[in-house]
């Protein structure tokens, strides 16, 4: 294990995209705190946590949090802590998601459940949630404790809703957006909102920040779901088309299912039969989703949420910071280029 | 599933032991809040949570918390919340422990991982931790947020330490006590300490409450570990001798291993060989632990911690409440009678 961690340490280069330049120093602090300052007593837990934070992750959420902090009055120490909390909760949920999805790869590296086992993954995820709680305690701000506690509940609601709706082609767009809000957007919204709260902004601005995070998060999830369809395994660092294979119905499939075209019924039947466990049936379903323009329509939906996100940062006066946040929103759609 | 829950609802009788009489009303409120007021949005999650809280549990931790609250100034609403937080964290950790131990039975009922599966158990445990966080937020008390956040970290440290030391007969008594403190006693200490803090007690009293919880918790764990040896499956509602079978070395085995008797070496060899996967070797190890007085010595160790707990409630002036807390400590040892 030690050699794997050493290899990852050498490979690691923290090259942030240009639009993170204005917060690169603070982002570096967050990175360092995650890598070396988490207080696991056990050697094994320390090793696992190092592996987790060395094996990728773009620190997108902490960056958004810091940009929003800078745009709403400046970055304080507590914003650094909120950024860390956000990344800890995100990472913990990924570790537990990988158990739930029996995933073998994450960001091109083996998952914890694959490299160790499910039991270790349960504990490692719990530990990261625990560290997030420790940092929440350090904030000494009950409002933010409440916001993040509700995110934890939302994450579980989203995850169980996804589980309840596996291989169910009757899932509605409303179900999908609600699930994506719980599973993904709630955390984006929490960090944006908290940044404004810590800068003592008024309720109107706090609401704009919250809505920016919500819209951005939903768009982020839709794009992620499209990428699952259009990328190969090397590009996304995990199995391609794994969502539909596992019965998770996302925006592209939903649009295809909602098409008036006769082929929509075929997709429905294939999903209901769980592809009869045949690769052939599964590939046919994928082909039909593409034929019915599922990915293209999903992209349009993501763009509409991005537009919504953009409107919510129009209150920011500093042109450079507003520009950075707008570039962030566009970067999400550019992942599909 | 619905019928299982209905059956458990009918069977459920909340008969608390006599020494809980002075707090029975508040304990009933805690029980009701756990059973009906947790805010899961998903139907499946609601069902699972009902199953969990209907299928047993003596609410020992909430009771201790309420008794300590009453003994240090009176029970406030926030003490009810702390009691619920304590039971939520305890229950969440059990749900995740059952994944880690691949347990089939808990309190005589099927475990979540057995009735549903490991994936659902991960989410259910996370949800309970999340609900504990929501209630921690409601307390609006940063000191208590910090105390419970540290408990969450300790639980993981204890769990991973136990995992790291499986089938390792070189584990020391110090390792065992440290692990038991992290896994069990930290939560007892947290609820006792928090009760005193919420009653604005001085540091000396808070320390006594903390130490009472720590000693009681360690004794509780030792007794639990002895019961695993001496009970049959029906009595403890789970597989008997499951600890040693799974490689978890607890107080009785430790005392036997530390004996100067030649047979200690045999136990060591049997554990190191993981019983060669043979029932016969495993039964031999159990027999040797009994022959070398492991359970009896472990009981003496538990008694010494109980004595320590008792000393720490000598500050309580009200004879009835002091009596209740002393009876609680004795009830732990009486489980071995």
Tell me the average pLDDT of chain B: 91
Which structure tokens are listed for B155?
Answer: 């639980």
Which pLDDT belongs to residue B191?
Answer: 98
Which pLDDT belongs to residue A208?
Answer: 98
pLDDT for residue A167 is more than 70: yes
pLDDT tens-digit profile of A294-303? 999 999 999 9
Residues of B in contact with A127 (CB under 8 A): 153, 156-157, 160
Which pLDDT belongs to residue B233?
Answer: 61
ipTM: 0.87
Q: What is the mean pLDDT of residues A302-310?
A: 98
pLDDT band per the 50, 70, 90 thresholds, residue B109:
confident
Which pLDDT belongs to residue A236?
Answer: 61
Least confident of B59-68, B92-101, B105-114: B105-114
Which pLDDT belongs to residue B186?
Answer: 98
Tell me the average pLDDT of chain A: 91
Q: Do A134 and B150 touch (CB under 8 A)?
A: yes
Residues of A in contact with B39 (CB under 8 A): 153
Least confident of A40-44, A212-216, B234-238: B234-238
pLDDT for residue A118 is more than 90: no
pLDDT tens-digit profile of A32-78? 999 887 777 788 888 889 889 988 788 999 999 999 999 999 999 99
Q: Do A42 and B160 touch (CB under 8 A)?
A: yes
Which pLDDT belongs to residue A315?
Answer: 97
Which pLDDT belongs to residue A86?
Answer: 98
pTM (two decimals)? 0.91
Angstroms from B145 CA to nearest CA on chain A: 5
Which structure tokens are listed for B213?
Answer: 């919880």
Q: How far apart are CA B230 and CA B235, in angstroms?
A: 10
Q: Which one of A45, A149, A152 has the shortest CB-CB distance to B156?
A: A45
Angstroms from A175 CA to nearest CA on chain B: 12
pLDDT for residue A113 is more than 90: no
Least confident of A286-290, B138-142, B196-200: B138-142
What structural domains does chain A harbor? 22-334 (1.10.600.10)
Q: Do A160 and B42 touch (CB under 8 A)?
A: yes
User: Across-strand partners of B109?
Assistant: B106
Which pLDDT belongs to residue B330?
Answer: 95
Angstroms from A286 CA to nearest CA on chain B: 26
Instruction: Mark residue B111 as left, alpha or beta (left: phi above 0; alpha: psi -120 to 50; beta: remaining).
Output: beta
Q: Do B133 and A152 touch (CB under 8 A)?
A: yes
pLDDT band per the 50, 70, 90 thresholds, residue A337:
confident
Coil, strand or helix: which one is B240?
coil
Which pLDDT belongs to residue A46?
Answer: 87
pLDDT band per the 50, 70, 90 thresholds, residue A237:
low
pLDDT for residue A304 is more than 90: yes
Which pLDDT belongs to residue A234?
Answer: 63
CB within 8 Å of B218: residues ≥ 6 apart: B177, B180, B181, B184, B185, B305
What Cα–Cα distance (Å) separates residue B116 from each residue in A123, A158, A163, B98? Answer: 20, 18, 12, 12
pLDDT tens-digit profile of A10-37? 666 567 788 888 999 999 999 999 988 7
Which pLDDT belongs to residue A239?
Answer: 66
pLDDT for residue B13 is more than 70: no
Residues of A in contact with B120 (CB under 8 A): 160, 163
Q: How far apart are CA A303 and CA B307, in angstroms?
A: 67
Angstroms from A318 CA to nearest CA on chain B: 34
pLDDT band per the 50, 70, 90 thresholds, residue A235:
low
Q: Which one of A42, A136, A164 has the shortest CB-CB distance to B42?
A: A164
Angstroms from A241 CA to nearest CA on chain B: 21
Q: What is the mean pLDDT of residues A245-258?
A: 96
Least confident of A296-310, B224-238, B274-288: B224-238
Residues of B in contact with A120 (CB under 8 A): 160, 163
**Contact between residue B114 and residue B105 where contact means Cβ atoms under 8 Å apart:** yes
Q: Do A145 and B149 touch (CB under 8 A)?
A: no
pLDDT tens-digit profile of B158-213? 988 998 899 999 999 999 999 999 999 999 999 999 999 999 999 999 999 999 99
Q: Do B43 and A148 touch (CB under 8 A)?
A: no
């Amino acid at each position: 294990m030690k050699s794997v961690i050493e290899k990852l340490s050498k490979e690691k280069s923290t090259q942030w995209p240009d639009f993170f330049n204005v917060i690169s120093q603070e982002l570096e602090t967050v990175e360092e705190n995650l890598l070396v300052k988490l207080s696991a007593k056990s050697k094994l837990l320390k090793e696992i946590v190092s592996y987790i934070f060395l094996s990728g992750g773009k620190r997108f959420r902490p960056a958004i949090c810091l940009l929003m902090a800078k745009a709403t009055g400046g970055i304080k120490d507590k914003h650094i802590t909120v950024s860390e909390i956000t990344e800890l909760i995100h990472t913990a949920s990924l570790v537990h998601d990988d158990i739930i999805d029996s995933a073998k790869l994450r960001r091109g590296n083996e998952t914890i459940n694959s490299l160790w086992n499910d039991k270790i993954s349960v504990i490692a995820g719990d530990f990261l949630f625990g560290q997030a709680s420790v940092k929440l305690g350090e904030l000494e701000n009950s409002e933010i404790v409440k916001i993040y506690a509700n995110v934890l509940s939302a994450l579980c609601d989203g995850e169980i809703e996804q589980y309840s709706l596996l291989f169910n082609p009757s899932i509605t767009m409303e179900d999908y957006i609600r699930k994506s809000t719980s599973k993904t957007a709630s955390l984006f919204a929490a960090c944006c909102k908290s940044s404004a709260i810590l800068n003592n902004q008024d309720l109107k601005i706090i609401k704009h920040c919250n809505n920016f995070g919500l819209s951005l998060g939903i768009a982020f999830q839709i794009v992620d779901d499209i990428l699952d369809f259009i990328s190969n395994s090397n590009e996304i660092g995990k199995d391609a088309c794994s969502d539909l294979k596992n019965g998770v119905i996302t925006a592209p499939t939903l649009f295809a299912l909602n098409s008036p075209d006769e082929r929509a019924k075929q997709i429905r039947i294939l999903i209901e039969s769980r592809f009869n466990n045949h690769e052939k049936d599964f590939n046919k379903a994928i082909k039909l989703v593409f034929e019915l323009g599922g990915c293209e329509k999903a992209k349009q939906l993501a763009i509409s949420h991005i537009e919504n996100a953009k409107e919510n940062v129009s209150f920011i006066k500093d042109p450079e910071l507003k520009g950075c946040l707008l570039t962030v929103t566009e970067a999400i759609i550019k992942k599909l280029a």
